[in-house]
Amino acid sequence: MPHLLHIDSSPRNDRSHTRRLTADFVRTWRESHPNGTVTYRDIGRNPLPHVTEEWIAAAFAQPDERSQAMLDALQLSDVLVDEILEADSIVAGIPFYNFGMPSGFKAYIIKLCV
């Protein structure tokens, strides 16, 4: 069964152009994949925590040397990585802020790097 990961990262809601574009994409995708499923991740309205010292120590530790506290620090990263691995397709709405991606989307990318 095809699976789509739908990500929005604009802090704006009804006035967001990128949200409108991803919503249009998902509507079209659902029409052409009637048996498909969609996971939604809203980084803009539900920001992820930024990187902490604890997260960095956990991410750089050898997997078999991670303490329970380190595993806890990486729990959200595990969820995010699973969402990526389960997806056949990904659509992401990413506003252009100061010649780059918003800090919230950058935090998302970093959280995937475990």
d(CA 78, CA 112) in angstroms, rounded, equals 8
- Least distance in angstroms from the C-beta of 82 to ligand FMN: 26
Rg (CA), the chain: 16
The token pair at 80 is 């995010």
Draw the binding track, 48-87, toward ligand FMN (x: CB under 6 A; -: no contact).
----------------------------------------
For tokens 């990500």, what's the residue? 7
96 binds ligand FMN (CB under 6 A): yes
For ligand FMN, which residue of 57, 61, 97, 101 counts as binding (CB under 6 A)? 97
CB-nearer residue toward ligand FMN: 10 or 77: 10
Least distance from ligand FMN to the Cβ atom of residue 37, Å: 25
DSSP secondary structure string for all residues of 10-22: -S-STT-HHHHHH
- Side by side, the strands of the sheet bearing 37-42 are 37-42, 3-8, 89-93
Helix and strand counts by DSSP (H, E) for the chain: 5, 3
Tell me which of 32, 68, 99, 113 binds ligand FMN, using CB under 6 A. Answer: 99
User: Can you give the binding site for ligand FMN, defined by CB under 6 A?
Assistant: 10, 12, 16-19, 95-99
